[in-house]
Amino acid sequence: MRNQENPQLVVFNDKAQKRILKKTHKELGHQGENETYRSIKNRYWWEGMKKIVKKWVKACQECQKRSHFQQKEEGNISATSTLLERVSMDAFHIKAGRCKYLVVERDDFSGWPVTVALTRLMPKSVSEWFNSEWICRYGEPK
């Protein structure tokens, strides 16, 4: 408890803050951000402490394993370094007259799109369109 006999220690050092967070959170048995924050604030203080505790607990791997709401890891997206190196394709259901699908192909480097509206989304029709509208114009992606 905070009082004159047991004042809060002000912690400026990032490494010290991390040690305190890690030790306290582990000792509490990974009970979450509220318990971790309550325990730390009774003994320590630093700028933005509540926000830092929240971020720390949210990133805790042990808590992630136990939680229903797991933090998703960022995917590995490989960047392209030249035009027409990689092409992405998506199909969307639309309501535009007799056409029911919109197929969009896009060069991942430049973002250049090529689209077509189709009445049916069949592999053969998409393949024929890709061949005539992309490969014949720009060549095969590398």
DSSP 63-114: HHHH-SSPPPPPP--PPP-STTS-EEEEEEEEEETTEEEEEEEEETTT--EE
pLDDT tens for each residue of the chain, 142 residues long: 455 566 788 988 889 999 999 898 888 888 888 999 999 999 999 999 999 999 988 888 887 777 665 555 566 666 777 888 889 999 999 877 888 899 999 998 888 899 999 888 999 999 999 999 888 988 888 7
Q: What confidence score (pLDDT) does residue 128 get?
A: 92
What single-letter DSSP state applies at residue 115?
Answer: E
